[in-house]
Structure 1
Amino acid sequence: MAEWDIRKLQILRTLRERETVTATAEALHMTPSAVSQQLTNLARQLGVPLLEARGRRVRLTDAARLVLTHTEPLFEQLERAEAALAAYTEGEAGEVRVGAFSTSVPALVVPAVRALREAHPGVTVRVREAEAAEAYDLLTAGDVDVALSLAASAPSAADPRFTQVPLLADPLDVALPPGHPLARTPALSLTDLAAEPWIFGGSGPWSDITRRACESAGFSPHQGHSASGWTAILAMVEAGMGVALVPRMAAGRRAGVVLRDLGADGPVRHVTAAVRRGGETGRAVSRVLGALREAAADGRSGVDSDARP
């Protein structure tokens, strides 16, 4: 098989365009003798004559023109590759894999992806839903580039493996059935609900968050029912089976449930993003982190302005 040399083919292509060895040398910042030597070497590699004398000039042989005809798509593809690489190094292109817990996907990841499509369409985000703690395992293993998690599930901020980026303090509202005696009580607090049956998971971060919030208010919650999915939890609240703490980012709207704001001193959960240490310097990853920050800021504005019954 013939030996194909891209640099020498580029010289041959330039000679076709510039027509003389001297003009080709000037265009490529070479000497005329270097151009001639490179083309002689290319002819030897391909096993065909590429130039023929025409007076004091040279012209491309039919073999040379045939070579260029068939290598032209290669040059086009190289131009595309060069443009794509330039876009990548400038942060305008690249794939970023994001591991995110379920409620962060619609609230933060989807708005971030939409913003990136507008501002940096070359940056592709691939989402993998994962439990808050699992996201760090995926990040450590190199299976994702960015992990969205709850601060309660995150390693210590001093962990040298990761750079953590705080995103959002998500208020926890209390979910009550519409007919509950406290559903319309002004300035509702958690202590008002100390005697209620509570609905939360049997284990995991949300169980810990619920227990910690209630214990900070001065009581240990009685777990009336166990569920980990928000659809199941809110359905049970709607049926009058108990009350629950619900992150505002996850709650949405449900006609049969009253969501009450617990005020400025109410409990919150903290949402963070993390990358492997040094990963934040990558342009595409930096674009995604910036979009997540903007989505979180918009989410905070929405939370502050959201009217609650």
Structure 2
Amino acid sequence: MTGTREWDIRKLRILRTLSERGTVTATAEALLMTPSAVSQQLSNLASQLGVTLLEAHGRRVRLTDAAHLVLRHTESVFAQLERADAELAGYLRGETGTVRVGAFSTAVPALVVPAVRRLRAAHPGLEVRVREAEAAEAYDLLSSGRVDLALSLAAQAPTARDPRFALVPLLADPLDVALPADHPLVERDGLRLADLSDEPWIFGGSGPWSEITLAACESAGFVPEQAHSAAGWTAILAMVEAGMGVALVPRMAAAERRRGVAMRVLERDQPRRHVLAAVRRGSETSPGIARVLSALREPSRAG
């Protein structure tokens, strides 16, 4: 029997207002209804709940014990609805909810973690969940709905014509040259990439980072001699420190720098790698995702 009762929120509000105002007439005025409509709605509520809610008391009505019991539970219901309404409003403003981010390794400490810190301070109800993933995995996760936003190099991103995704440029990450600390070119003024054409180079054997290094050197007028191949910055910088070669290193990888490595800015012909975010097309206007995108772009605006 309990499961068949119909708890009508609108009618419960009328009952609560009657409890507060005391008369059907005052309740009708407060709710912009007619007295007959108030009476009819309360009669319907009594039928739905299977109890008597009102009893005559002279020329007025008063609430029965059953009505007071209903109201005790109603207050809890209304309080929970208020909390739900506030949380929903926060979600619609992008202040609550969860945004799942897939990001490549150097982007996590350089971009994502600072963005999460800013969001925690400004919007503590908005949760960001981070998953380290290189481009191929990140776009699979995004396409399947397991992340909401993917960070990658532009060189690894889908084409802008891909109907599944919207691409959002984040920043152009400068590439500095890593030299052994005792290298004779460390102190050269106006160091250019072409000055390193005779050096042994360290970069990945394939993939976008190899392509970025090769393209940068070719733009400077030479093809680099690949003396050693490595993909991780820890390995690359360890070899530079040991005097085994030189390397282009993204500024975002600054946390990996070593004492025995000198980082030089190539002021005249500095190459850059472009970093972007991708979301499922149409979701870029979702308030939570828009806030995360704004926080990710903040370092580039500040820089």
In structure 1, runs of 5+ residues without a counterpart are: 302-309
Is 1:81 the equivalent of 2:84?
yes
Q: Quick check: 2:192–2:268 contact (8 Å CA) kept in 1?
A: no
After TM superposition, the structure 1 stretch with the greater mean CA deviation from structure 2, 11-20 or 73-82, is 11-20
Partner Cα distance (2:21, 2:201) in 1: 82
Kindly provide the amino acid, as one letter, of the partner of residue 295 in structure 2: A
CA 263–28 in structure 1, closer or farther in 2 if over 3 Å, else same: same
2:70 to 67, 70, 79: 67
Is 1:262 the equivalent of 2:266?
yes
Q: CA deviation at 1:76?
A: 0.7
* Fraction of identical pairs, as percent: 75
Partner secondary structure for residue 115 of structure 2: helix
Kindly provide the amino acid, as one letter, of the partner of residue 63 in structure 2: L
Q: Quick check: 2:192–2:269 contact (8 Å CA) kept in 1?
A: no
Find runs of 4+ consecutive structure 1 residues off by over 4 angstroms: none
Q: Quick check: 1:133–1:149 contact (8 Å CA) kept in 2?
A: no
Partner Cα distance (2:175, 2:233) in 1: 13
Partner Cα distance (1:249, 1:129) in 2: 15
2:190 to 187, 190, 194: 187
Q: Quick check: 2:166–2:281 contact (8 Å CA) kept in 1?
A: yes
Partner Cα distance (2:132, 2:34) in 1: 58
Q: CA deviation at 1:194?
A: 2.3
Q: Quick check: 2:193–2:269 contact (8 Å CA) kept in 1?
A: no
After TM superposition, the structure 1 stretch with the greater mean CA deviation from structure 2, 257-266 or 75-84, is 257-266
Residue equivalent to 2:292: 288
Q: CA deviation at 1:134?
A: 3.0
Q: Quick check: 2:167–2:279 contact (8 Å CA) kept in 1?
A: yes
Deviation sequence 1:129-164 (CA, Å, 0-9, x none):
111343222222222222211111112223333222
Deviation sequence 1:241-267 (CA, Å, 0-9, x none):
221110011123421110111114221
Kindly provide the amino acid, as one letter, of the partner of residue 197 in structure 2: A
Kindly provide the amino acid, as one letter, of the partner of residue 182 in structure 1: L
Q: CA deviation at 1:209?
A: 1.2
1:128 to 128, 131, 139: 131
In structure 2, runs of 5+ residues without a counterpart are: none
Q: Quick check: 2:149–2:279 contact (8 Å CA) kept in 1?
A: yes
Partner secondary structure for residue 172 of structure 1: strand
CA 132–257 in structure 1, closer or farther in 2 if over 3 Å, else same: same
2:46 to 43, 46, 56: 43
**Residues 199-214 of structure 1: pairs in structure 2 closer than 5 A:** 199-214=202-217
Q: CA deviation at 1:81?
A: 0.4
Q: CA deviation at 1:189?
A: 2.1
2:279 to 275, 278, 293: 275
Partner secondary structure for residue 48 of structure 2: helix
Kindly provide the amino acid, as one letter, of the partner of residue 244 in structure 1: A
Deviation sequence 1:66-105 (CA, Å, 0-9, x none):
1221232221110000111112222332222222111112
Partner Cα distance (1:107, 1:243) in 2: 23
Deviation sequence 1:281-307 (CA, Å, 0-9, x none):
212221221222212222xx2xxxxxx
Partner Cα distance (1:210, 1:18) in 2: 77
Partner Cα distance (1:26, 1:265) in 2: 76
Partner secondary structure for residue 13 of structure 1: helix
Residue equivalent to 1:178: 181
Deviation sequence 1:197-251 (CA, Å, 0-9, x none):
2222222221221122222223322222222211121112111122111001112
**Residues 133-282 of structure 1: pairs in structure 2 closer than 5 A:** 133-252=136-255, 253-282=257-286
Computed over aligned residues only, the root mean square deviation of the Cα atoms, in angstroms, reads: 1.8
Partner Cα distance (2:72, 2:13) in 1: 13
Residue equivalent to 2:117: 114
